[in-house]
């Protein structure tokens, strides 16, 4: 008798585990978008939810030079970033209305998680693009550089 209950609960538990795993994966999955500059196209994960924006690229050990993360905001503002949980250095590009408005190059991962510098633009931005360190210099991306967004 107990064997039937054991099998029943094992099946229920397995089903719930699979459902929860699927839900967690879908909740943390990112849409992709192409950020097109004159010299290179970046395939970016789009951080839309508050949880995605807080996590950002934290925990990633590798970021290819044509990959990044694009943070979308409802309105232009001085959107401030930190490097909590970051393992690699990055370039941060604040962008608005088709143009780069500010850049922070070679932003290092933190030495101390309790002392996190904040990075903020000189002008309001409506999007922020995080890319591999050296990206802006290598592709001559400067303030005023144009870009477009394209669906993938």
Q: Is 17 inside any structural domain?
A: no
Q: Is 87 inside any structural domain?
A: yes
Domain that holds residue 103: 30-151
Whether the CB-CB separation of 79 and 54 falls below 8 Å is answered with no
pLDDT score, position 26 = 41
Q: Is 57 inside any structural domain?
A: yes
Whether the CB-CB separation of 119 and 107 falls below 8 Å is answered with yes
pLDDT score, position 17 = 40
Straight-line distance from the first to the last Cα atom of the chain, in angstroms, rounded to the nearest whole number: 55
Q: Is 73 inside any structural domain?
A: yes
Q: Is 62 inside any structural domain?
A: yes
Digitized pLDDT (tens) for each residue of the chain, 152 residues in all = 555 544 544 454 444 444 333 333 344 589 999 999 999 999 999 999 999 999 999 999 999 989 999 999 999 999 999 999 999 999 999 999 999 999 999 999 998 888 899 999 999 999 999 999 999 999 999 999 999 999 98
Distance CA 46, CA 152 (A): 11
Q: State the pTM of this model.
A: 0.80
Q: Is 64 inside any structural domain?
A: yes
The structural domain count of the chain equals 1
| Alpha helices in 29-139, H assignment, sequence order | 50-55, 135-138
pLDDT score, position 9 = 44
Length of the chain: 152
pLDDT score, position 2 = 52
Residue 83 sits in a domain of what CATH number? 2.60.120.1140
pLDDT score, position 18 = 40
Distance CA 141, CA 40 (A): 10
pLDDT score, position 64 = 94
Q: Which helix (H) or strand (E) holds 21?
A: helix 2-28
Q: Is 122 inside any structural domain?
A: yes
């Amino acid at each position: 008798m107990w064997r039937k209950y054991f099998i029943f609960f094992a099946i229920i538990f397995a089903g719930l585990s699979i459902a929860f795993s699927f839900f967690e994966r879908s909740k943390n999955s990112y849409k992709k978008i192409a950020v097109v500059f004159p010299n290179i196209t970046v395939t970016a994960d789009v951080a839309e939810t508050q949880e995605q924006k807080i996590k950002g690229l934290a925990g990633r050990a590798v970021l290819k030079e044509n990959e990044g993360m694009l943070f979308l905001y409802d309105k232009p503002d001085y959107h401030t970033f930190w490097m909590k949980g970051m393992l690699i250095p990055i370039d941060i590009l604040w962008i608005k209305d088709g143009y780069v408005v500010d850049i922070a190059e070679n932003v290092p991962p933190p030495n101390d998680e309790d002392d996190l510098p904040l990075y903020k633009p000189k002008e309001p931005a409506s999007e922020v693009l995080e890319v591999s360190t050296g990206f802006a210099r290598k592709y001559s991306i400067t303030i005023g550089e144009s870009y477009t967004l394209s669906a993938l």
